Amino acid sequence: MNVGIIVEYNPLHNGHIIHLQKVKKMYPEAKIIACMSGNVSMRGEISVIKKFDKTKLALENGIDLIVELPATYTMQSAEIFADYAVKILNSFDVEVIVCGSEEDNTKLYEELYLLEKSPFFQEKIKKNLNLGYSYAKSYRLALNLDLKSNDVLGFNYYKAIIKNNYSICLKTIKREKTDYLDSNFNDQNIASAKAIRKQKIFHNYVPENVERYLDKNMLIDHKNIFPFYQYSLLEKSSLALKNIFLIDEGLENRLKTSLKTYDEYLDHLVSKRYTASKIQRIMLYVLFNITKDEMAKSLSEDIIIRILGYNRNGLEIIKGKKKEMKLYTNIKEGLSYTLDIELKIAKILSLIFKIDYFSDEQKGPVMYQFD
């Protein structure tokens, strides 16, 4: 039996370990497959640990196979992120996907799905859009329920399963002690990934094997991209900016605003229509020069299944799938639009952080416990 989870591990922390332990308790004989985002996150941040280091840590903590959710699938709305992640896991015949949840109630997802299909739902969204809210905010207001982060994703996993008619059961595990967006710490060794990144405190809040990849300076900080982003803005004309993915409605002019710090800049651009997450994603699209045309080509090609790492159990899964579908491991330019963008991101991050991301892409998957 194959069980799927969808993760970012930015960074992997004690709450994630609890989630894994519960999955293993629920399905003790199962092989666990993680669909994991790489060097960038859904919210438009740079991962504080490189993707192949995250892969090694995931394997060390009991996952059997790690498959990448490429950047063009990751830096998207929750609906697109979830749809691609579920498609990838379905390719490996997972019978169950287990996700974290604030409400721990899959019945809620069923009720919301029926509400979404009601004839008045789109009218409510249009009304909220006319009031100047972003689509994401308009959508949440139309649901008349303020779902928290994990349940937003859980609901979208549920929709992806139903929409694609997959034979996958969605199970939830209640998130304990801290919310996804909490910036505070408690005395129970559990903190959100956001708190760990923001406060740069990780001792006792992450497993020991994760701690060795982190230090108090956290060299890989997404805020360090800001000067490079500003340069990228300066060298682009307004017309060139209009061609960048997600930029529309005159936003290219507002992006040119000159402010001193990353936080000031972000606060200035956030509005009813543009959430902080969307602005951060746009900033990365500008930095990486990912155009609307490139994104359209990426999302129109066959879904990319890329193996980041595996143990002996994971290798059994791969062997069973090699004849059925194309599996990517080490990559080079020209294989696909999606992977070309992945390589471009690796090159730019290598320049910014002076860490070799690019060579990692060409080395192939992490193999664990094969000695």
Phi, psi of 255 (to 5 degrees): -65, -25
Whether residue 11 is preceded by a cis peptide bond, meaning omega within 30 degrees of 0, is: yes
Least Cα distance to 151 among 115, 112, 194 occurs for 112
Give Cα 107 to chain centroid, integer Å: 25
Superfamily of domain 2-103+149-221+295-367: HUPs (3.40.50.620)
Q: Cα(251)–Cα(283) distance, rounded to whole angstroms?
A: 12
Sheet of strand 31-37: strand arrangement:
169-174, 96-101, 2-7, 31-37, 65-69, 306-310, 366-367
Question: What is the helix, strand, coil percentage profile of the chain, to 5?
Answer: 50, 10, 40
Amino acid identity for residue 326 in this structure: K
Q: Cα(75)–Cα(47) distance, rounded to whole angstroms?
A: 12
Q: Which residues pair with 35 in a beta bridge?
A: 6, 67
Question: Tens digit of pLDDT per residue, the chain (371 long)?
Answer: 999 999 999 999 999 999 999 999 999 999 999 999 999 999 999 999 999 999 999 999 999 999 999 999 999 999 999 999 999 999 999 999 999 999 999 999 999 999 888 888 888 988 988 988 888 788 888 887 778 889 999 999 999 999 999 999 999 999 876 655 555 666 578 888 888 888 777 878 899 889 888 865 566 888 899 999 999 999 999 899 999 999 987 899 899 888 889 999 999 999 888 999 999 999 999 999 999 999 999 999 999 999 999 999 999 999 989 889 999 999 999 999 999 999 999 999 999 999 999 999 998 899 998 76
Where are the CATH 3.40.50.620 domain residues in the chain? 2-103+149-221+295-367
pTM: 0.94
- Please give the structure tokens belonging to residue 352: 């910014």
* Helical pair 106-116 and 135-143, crossing angle rounded to 10 deg: 110
